[in-house]
Chain A
Amino acid sequence: MNELAERVKEISDQNVYSCYQCGNCSAGCMFTDEMDTLPHQVITLVQMEDKEALEKNTSWICASCFVCSVRCPRGLDVAAIMEALREIKIRERGFRKIDLRKIKDIEKLPQIAITAAAQKFTW
């Protein structure tokens, strides 16, 4: 197992080598319009130890809706792999607060939206 895949496994408990590139995750994903690389392609990058996997916007667009994880025929929790990629970046760069001044309609937004965004983008 390569180092990047090892790190992903450590954080997410998912083995990217289980993926056989059927593309089911990308087919079901509702956010692919916004992604520069499809989820199954990002997993290929990790399999090949291509650090580009960490630079793609895919893991940041993923909203953890878990359609991919429910449908993966190999039983991979794809959303957890995306979270692992986010976490690798976040842990490298260190803890950072979200900038509340950049939030439009902060008074109107339900707290769960702001807390969820803070959890996903800053940890």
Chain B
Amino acid sequence: MVIMVEVLYYPGCSLRNTYPEFEKSTYAACEKLGINLVEIPEWNCCGVVPSLAADNVMRHLGAVRSFIKAQEKGKEIGTNVVVTLCSMCYNVLKRVNLILKEQVDTLKNVNDFIDDQPDYVPELEIVHFLNLLKNVGFDKVKERIVTPLRGLKVAPYYGCALLRPDRPEGVPIDDPENPTVIEDLIRSIGAEPVEFPFRTECCGNYHIVFEPSIVEMRTKKIIGSARLGKADVILSPCPLCTYNLQHGNETLDRSEQVPVVFFTQLLALSLGVKSHLSTEI
């Protein structure tokens, strides 16, 4: 396959430890699509939730350390585009990067603090894999599909981190209230997106750690909504949403459950790679 696109790639912790199928299916799909993902050397945790306190920049540091590594690697291969898969990593990297582009003082502050590395010059662009696909073109993706998933009804779940907040400007990968990018992907792989009013609602996030009942309340509603749309499967872009939705499934009767997969798993399947789905699905 001719390489059409070469970008820097930030994997994030959850892909390496909890959900390797998310990453493996992505690599397999990228090989078919001619996308070369160059992993950032020595990347570290993004911090997961960026600070909302204007006076707390400590929480930006995890992201910035990875930016510095990305910046140096980017110089070698000639790109400033960093692609992420995990929604939460995307949200943190995107927001911190935009904040550093806007706020000269904050940039100086973090650069002074990280004194064992070269300074970060905020010229990277953070892109979510879905938008990379959109930029490549869903029509181009469609051309490469060898196993269209005809008749499969898919509930596109967006969650929060890809769509919100809307400031700094440029964080959402699509319209925060009426996104279509996952639907476009579903159509391009030959499947059918279902109407799904809870698709942009929160799964309960980190409450799974200390108050799982909150997550159960949220995810039951989301799964129920997908089931009303007669979805065969829920497509998730986020490791934590996936974990929470699967937790929600476990509290439901088998007949009420809807399996949850990562969008790249169905993408890889339709591109002719068979090995990244569990046998249940």
Contact = CB atoms under 8 A, between A and B. Distances in A.
Contacts of B228: none
Interface in A69-103: 69-70, 77, 79-80, 83-84, 87, 98, 102-103
23 contacts: A12-B54, A13-B54, A31-B218, A63-B202, A65-B201, A65-B205, A83-B51, A83-B52, A84-B52, A109-B209, A112-B12, A112-B14, A112-B48, A112-B86, A113-B208, A113-B209, A113-B240, A115-B49, A116-B48, A117-B207, A117-B210, A119-B49, A119-B59
A119 B164 contact: no
Contact of A116 (B19, B55, B165, B205): B205
A116 B206 contact: yes
Interface residues of A, number: 39
B56 interface: yes
Interface string B36-49: 00000000010111
Given A109-B243, A111-B17, A30 B53 contact: no
Contact of B243 (A33, A77, A113): A113
Candidate in B45, B166, B210, B239 with the most chain A CB atoms within 10 angstroms: B210
A59 B17 CA distance: 31
Main SS class of interface, A? helix
A36 to B, nearest CB: 14
A62 to B, nearest CB: 10
B210 A103 contact: yes
Contact of B210 (A34, A65, A70, A102): A102
Nearest to B213: A34
Given A12-B54, A87-B56, A117-B206, A77 B239 contact: no
Contacts, number: 132
Interface residues on B, range: 35 or more
B214 interface: yes
A110 B17 contact: yes
A30 B221 CA distance: 10
A95 B19 CA distance: 32
